[in-house]
Structure 1
Amino acid sequence: MGIYYLPEESDPTASPEAIELIFKESGSLGLASGTDWTLRIEKGTWPELPQWCHPRDAWTYRDISTLPEESLGKILSLRKQVNEHGDLVQAELQFEGGSRIAVTSGESLELRSTSTRDDSRLPPEEEFKYLLEYAHDDWLGFSVISGAVASILGKGASQSQLREMTVRLIGDLYDRGVRAGDLTSSDAHPFAPWSTTKGETLDRIRSEMAKLPGLPDSGDICWFTVP
């Protein structure tokens, strides 16, 4: 849901001042631009308006037409982007099933989204680019990979197809320098890459995935990064 200032609410081109992602179980997550144009992420207040909406009768919730209509499911990952001062200015959320929402702060919020619907899914090369950049920037977990796989194959894919696409993507990532390994408690060496060849790595992952009821989540089997 978008939070709109009522004098602008009737303008179809008006951007929301904030958005609230409403969870099916309970609660919500709020994203808004601060007065310094940085991005604020905080616990939502749905169905009540946030305290900063003053006076109350000058603000309202409204659906955002550019966001996916289907239920997004749980959040699998959150990527943050900061400016040159280290302030948060963008957040990209990936949901189970592959949908993504990117929120950028500024004078007004800028929203971009991709859906799991066939006409709006990212092409495979864009999904791969996203995973590769993620592995360069952070620890890449299976939840993010599984979301990309679901987005590429779409609804109706079998578990066998999902697993094979997962292995294929990991193999392509390996060719670009990404390695599987385990996180450690060491500050000096927080990542311990597996001492396995590409084939051994993929065989191990394929074997471990076969033991799971579905696609793995972050924390299952291993993590990925560019050492």
Structure 2
Amino acid sequence: MTVGREATGGETGRPAGRPRHRRADWLAGARITAVHGLFYRPEGRAGEPEAVEFVLAEGQSVLLTCVSGGTLGITSGSWPALPDWCVPGQWDFGPLPQLPPVPYTGAWTVVGAEEYRDGRDRAYEAVLRCEEGDFVVGSGDTVTIRFIRR
């Protein structure tokens, strides 16, 4: 599975938000072993994360990031390293207590993925469909994530 890196955009240096894949099967078959939130530390962890990183069994990861204008950036991650746009010491990965624990099999198996787009063809939501349920990641001022059991 390859997601591909995106060019950074604007003054923020954050990913520009243009996904490399739009097919519903771009992540099918991958096994998610962990999901981590990426938080801006000076603000604490009380709110939603700025990004969510899905760690895959194959040693890769996928990063879903809140980008300007409510756009959801979808790029290859760099787990366990922080993304290039993070200033060291100001960002930190943290747990997402609203998500269930990893299944007893050790991973969630992805059966498909979908991106929902606005009228300007910008992704604003991604759904990673797994055998056990769906991860739904949305973008706004921050990233929201929820798990819907099947």
From the two aligned structures, give the one with the greater strand fraction.
2
Task: Give matches, 1:102-121, under 5 Å.
Answer: 102-114=136-148, 121=149
Q: Is the 8 A contact 2:48 2:142 kept in 1?
A: yes
Letter of the structure 2 residue corresponding to residue 81 of structure 1: Y
SS in 1 for 2:75: strand
Q: Does 1:61 align with 2:93?
A: yes
Task: Give matches, 1:130-209, under 5 Å.
Answer: 151=150
Structure 2 unaligned runs (5+)? Answer: 1-35
Q: CA deviation at 1:21?
A: 0.5
Identity %: 28
Q: For residues 63-93 of structure 1, what are the alpha-carbon distances to aligned partners after superposition, in whole Å with 9 as ceiling and x for unaligned?
A: 1011121244232111111112121111011
Letter of the structure 1 residue corresponding to residue 83 of structure 2: P
- Distance, in Å, in 1 between the alignment partners of 2:108 and 2:132 is 10
* Structure 2 counterpart of 1:51: 84
Select the structure with the greater relative contact order (CA < 8 A; seq sep ≥ 6): 2
How many residues end up aligned between the 2 structures? 112
SS in 2 for 1:57: coil
SS in 2 for 1:7: helix
CA RMSD of aligned residues (A): 1.4
Q: Is the 8 A contact 2:102 2:108 kept in 1?
A: no
SS in 2 for 1:93: strand
Q: For residues 4-59 of structure 1, what are the alpha-carbon distances to aligned partners after superposition, in whole Å with 9 as ceiling and x for unaligned?
A: 01012242xx10000100112311111001123211111011000001112x1001
**The one of 106, 127, 133 aligned to 1:92:** 127
Inter-CA distance 85–48: structure 2 relative to 1 (3 Å threshold)? same
Q: Does 1:24 align with 2:74?
A: no
SS in 1 for 2:108: coil
From the two aligned structures, give the one with the greater helix fraction.
1
- Distance, in Å, in 2 between the alignment partners of 1:18 and 1:33 is 6
Q: Is the 8 A contact 2:39 2:45 kept in 1?
A: no
SS in 2 for 1:19: strand
- Distance, in Å, in 2 between the alignment partners of 1:36 and 1:45 is 24
* Structure 1 counterpart of 2:27: none
Inter-CA distance 9–24: structure 2 relative to 1 (3 Å threshold)? farther
* Structure 1 counterpart of 2:26: none
- Distance, in Å, in 2 between the alignment partners of 1:98 and 1:112 is 13
- Distance, in Å, in 1 between the alignment partners of 2:145 and 2:108 is 18
SS in 2 for 1:36: helix
Which has more radius of gyration? 1
* Structure 1 counterpart of 2:41: 6
Structure 1 unaligned runs (5+)? Answer: 115-120, 122-150, 152-227
Q: For residues 129-178 of structure 1, what are the alpha-carbon distances to aligned partners after superposition, in whole Å with 9 as ceiling and x for unaligned?
A: xxxxxxxxxxxxxxxxxxxxxx4xxxxxxxxxxxxxxxxxxxxxxxxxxx
Q: Following superposition, which runs of at least 4 residues in structure 1 exceed 6 angstroms of deviation?
A: none
- Distance, in Å, in 2 between the alignment partners of 1:10 and 1:93 is 24
TM-score (norm 2): 0.69
* Structure 2 counterpart of 1:33: 66
- Distance, in Å, in 1 between the alignment partners of 2:60 and 2:133 is 20
